[in-house]
Structure 1
Amino acid sequence: MFKRLKRRKEIKEKVSLLKTITLFREVDERALFRIASVMEPCEIKKGDILFNKGDKDFALYLIVSGRVKIHDGNHTFTTFGANQYFGEYSLLDSTPRSTSVTAIEDTKLLRLDQEQFNKYIFKIPSLARGLLLGLVWRLRDYNVLEEQLTSKNLEIKRQKEELEIQRKELEQLNHMKDRFFAIIAHDLRNPFSTVLSLSELLAKEFSNIEPENLKLFIEQLYRYSNKTFNLLENLLQWSMLQTGRLTPKPQQANLSDIISDTIDLLSGNASKKSIRLNWVDNNDYIGYFDVNMITTVIRNLISNAIKFTPQNGEISVSVKSEFDKYRVFIKDNGVGMSKEIVDKLFRIDTNPSTPGTNDESGTGLGLILCKDFVEKNNGSIGVESEVNKGSTFYFTIPRFDNSHQ
């Protein structure tokens, strides 16, 4: 009698648990008693495996207490705790387990074997409906989980892309830093050393220097000082641009005036190499740009053309009007460049620096500055060149203020 009462109490407890489970929510109590009577209790200790992937364990498990993880090796798909169930697919499908189950803590379960389930599935219609409903809900849970995983994967992808952008930016900053210090250490130090040496010589030996040599030394002092000043000016402008302290201030201005003034300024440099410096079409070209920045661009490009054009060469400057912009061309018949060198221009990391036709030195910084200034003025810059046939640098600037469009 005592054993029967104990047995009935255990079954009632199982029934109470079954009523909390979606699979059995619509099953009447009489049928639940019949199902509960064939469910076998089992226990697994923390760390124990209930079944492994590939096992032929065809049963539904209800967790009375404790927690388990559903996993494949070290990858955990999900966890289940008290009043939850798993393995419902095995009641219908006799294929080996696709995952393993291990106890996260000491766990008590109830096991409903497929064979026992099959005895009731056709006798209790509500059980079939409950199983179908449970599968639907589980599928919905999986869909929600998949949506969450997809969202998380997209977030991870976005973060990865942001990290890659930041990595490239840091790499670019490192190249800029290295280039910056290289210019300071070499390209500024050398002309300063020459200026100091010449100054020292003049200071100590002024009275003993012949007039023609004195004039030569003074000209060299001027040349090296002027070169150093221009380099320092470019360096300061470039560093201010990179740190955001130099911003464009566009206004309506006549491009022709800037070109004419720059040609006048550099005509002396050109005449020293007997280079013809031509302003092809001296018409008015009213555009919308930062005057100081574009003046720097034109000065650098014409200076470069003079540097790489041999004695008795020719340089022409022209402007082409397009729908919403002007395109400025600086063309020379100098030494030209190979495609390999052209591909490296305008890049701080690989920007080449080659001596001019009279062995004029440079840092390559001028073209980097030109690119930055042109792009800050909503333009673009490029070059066409062929070895021994010269180069044509070109850039664009807006004709109108498009900031309100």
Structure 2
Amino acid sequence: MLNLFKKHRDDELEKRIDCLRSILLFKEVDHSTLRKIATVLESCEVKKDERLFNKGDRDYSLYIVVRGKVKAHDGNHTFATFGPNQYFGEYSLLDSSARSTAVTAMEDSVLLRLHQEQFNRFLQKIPSLSRALLLGLVWRLRDYNVLEAELTAKNLEIKKQKEEIEQQSKELEQLNQMKDKFFAIIAHDLRNPFSTVLSLSELLAKEFANFDQNNLQMFIEQIYKYSNKTFNLLENLLQWSMLQTGRLTPKPQMANLADVINDTIDLLKGTAHNKSINLYWALPTDSYAYFDVNMITTVVRNLISNAIKFTPQNGEVVVQVDAEPDHYKVSVIDTGVGIPDEVIQKLFRIDSNPTTLGTNEESGTGLGLILCKEFVEKNGGTIGVRSVVSKGSTFYFTVPRIEVKKQ
């Protein structure tokens, strides 16, 4: 019977030693010292909802939960809970500060307690304990450093994710703006010319015999005008939608800007002549560069068309090409109405791109400059504008002189 009791006591003691060994503070303490400490651990019982100690109490003890569950809390706010083989209050062995939280049993619980006074006696009697505790604290510091490194890595990951989410949010906002612009164009800019063409066509179909030659000529010109505008708008919409969905990609090659500019001036000379505008290319010369011919042709055509549109009768539109070391700069200079600074800020933007009637009431699609910007940038260039109200504007863009290798 005595042997059985001794075995039971030894088993309980070993369990206490195991509990102490799980505490990082005692990580480096030898078994014999842990055994001595284990023998002075006091058992204490707390019933459910009973306080072990209150916030502000001078309770200088380490506690190990043997059975049950307790919580560290301040009022109704719970900071942590502790179950079997978990511990709390190890710093109370070294520091005589008041308790920062209250501890209450969440269910009937049994705990082991090591008081600071008993701990200090061991420190005085066993010199090696201090060194072992110091090593334990060093381990704790290392663990904190590892944890800090992990938290830093996590924070960087969270920051990166946040930046990605913000970028996705901006892209989503831009897509919404594009969608709104798309529907606005369809709802207004497409509907109006279609309505006009349908009305005029219906009138011609029903009353053809009642109109004289001059009226018929006027109706046909109006139908052509609005049909042409609608076709241009649809073409711009098609190109724009293909850009957004990645179906329209640049196919750059070495080509002569002179051919693009000459062909465009020949195409638009009639329009300029109708407004008595002098359209010409200053100092024409061959200018070989690396670009997608179709895209840059669209850019040149849009910029010259706009210049003619916003230049009054007897004005002037000049195309100028300047050679830089790594690119050509193409400028379309007009003597038109100019653009206010507040409007310049809105150009090239899908969310606020303004449309203005020309000097002869010419209307635009609201997409021309946006397409120009995207086409130029996809060809490795930049686009911009300088303008003075009532004196004219200069729209310019660049194209690389040689192939630019992508990083």
Q: TM-score, normalised by structure 2?
A: 0.89
CA contact (8 A) 2:253 2:291 kept: yes
Relative to structure 1, is the Cα distance of residues 154 and 106 closer, same or farther in structure 2, using a 3 angstrom cutoff? farther
Letter in 1 for 2:126: I
Change (3 A) 1:45 1:390: farther
More displaced 10-residue stretch of structure 1: 274-283 or 192-201: 192-201
How big is each residue's C-alpha offset from its partner over 1:163-213, in whole Å with a ceiling of 9 and x where there is no partner? 111111111111111111111111111111111222222223333322223
Structure 2 residue 179 is matched with structure 1 residue 177: yes
**Whole-angstrom CA distance in 2 between matches of 1:31 and 1:321:** 87
Which secondary structure does the structure 2 equivalent of 1:383 belong to? strand
Residues of 2 paired with 1:404 and 1:164: CA distance? Answer: 26
Higher mean C-alpha deviation, range 208-217 or range 170-179? 208-217
Work out whether 1:121 is the aligned partner of 2:116. Answer: no
| Residues 70, 105 of structure 2: 8 Å contact kept | yes
Who is 1:40 aligned against? 42
Contact 2:25–2:140 under 8 Å retained in 1: no
* Counterpart code for 1:155: E
Partner in structure 2 of residue 290 of structure 1: 292
Unaligned ranges ≥5, structure 1: none
Give the aligned length: 403
Q: 1:234 aligns with which of 236, 253, 259?
A: 236
For 2:64 and 2:174, how far apart are their aligned partners in 1? 58
1:321 corresponding residue in structure 2:
323
Q: Kindly indicate whether residue 321 of structure 2 is the aligned counterpart of residue 339 of structure 1.
A: no
Higher mean C-alpha deviation, range 304-313 or range 145-154: 145-154
Task: Provide the secondary structure at the position in 2 that maps to 1:378.
Answer: coil
Match of 1:330 in 2: 332
Name the CA distance, whole Å, in 2 between partners of 1:164 and 1:286: 41
Instruction: Report the CA distance between 1:81 and its aligned residue.
Output: 5.5
**CA distance in 2: counterparts of 1:104 and 1:153, whole angstroms:** 34
Distance verdict in 2 for CA 1:140–1:64, change over 3 Å = farther
User: 1:287-308 deviations in whole A, cap 9, x for unaligned?
Assistant: 1111111111111111111111
Match of 1:90 among 78, 89, 92: 92
Shift of 1:45: 6.4
Which range moved further: 296-305 or 130-139? 130-139
Aligned to 2:364: 362
Question: Contact (CA 8 Å) 1:248, 1:290: kept in 2 or not?
Answer: yes
Q: Which residue of structure 1 lines up, in the alignment, with residue 216 of structure 2?
A: 214
Which range moves more in the overlay, 94-103 or 310-319? 94-103
Letter in 1 for 2:329: R
Does 2:141 align with 1:139? Answer: yes
CA shift for structure 1 position 157: 1.6
Q: Distance in 1 between matches of 2:235 and 2:27?
A: 82
Between the two proteins, what is the percent identity of the paired residues? Answer: 70
CA deviation after TM superposition for structure 1 residue 244, in Å: 0.8
Aligned pair in 2 of structure 1 residues 107, 249: CA closer, same or farther (>3 Å)? farther
Residue of structure 2 in register with 1:312 after alignment: 314
Q: Which runs of 5+ in 2 are unaligned?
A: none
1:333 is displaced (CA, Å) by: 1.2
TM-score (norm 1): 0.89
Q: Structure 1 CA distance, aligned partners of 2:9 and 2:196? A: 107
Paired residue secondary structure (1:95): coil
Q: Does 1:250 align with 2:241?
A: no
Conserved in 1, the CA contact under 8 Å of 2:349 and 2:370?
A: yes
Q: 1 CA distance for matches of 2:57 and 2:293?
A: 79
Distance 2:277 2:365 in 1: 23
Instruction: Report SS of the residue matched to 2:353.
Output: coil
Amino acid at match of 2:168: Q
Amino acid at match of 1:117: F
Contact 1:71 1:77 in 2 (8 A): yes
Task: Please tell me whether residue 261 in structure 1 is matched to residue 263 in structure 2.
Answer: yes
Cα shift at 1:246: 0.7
SS at match of 2:140: helix
Most deviating of 153-162 and 80-89: 80-89
Task: Tell me, in whole angstroms, the C-alpha distance in 2 between the residues paired with 1:290 and 1:350.
Answer: 28
Farther-moved stretch of structure 1 (77-86 vs 107-116) = 77-86
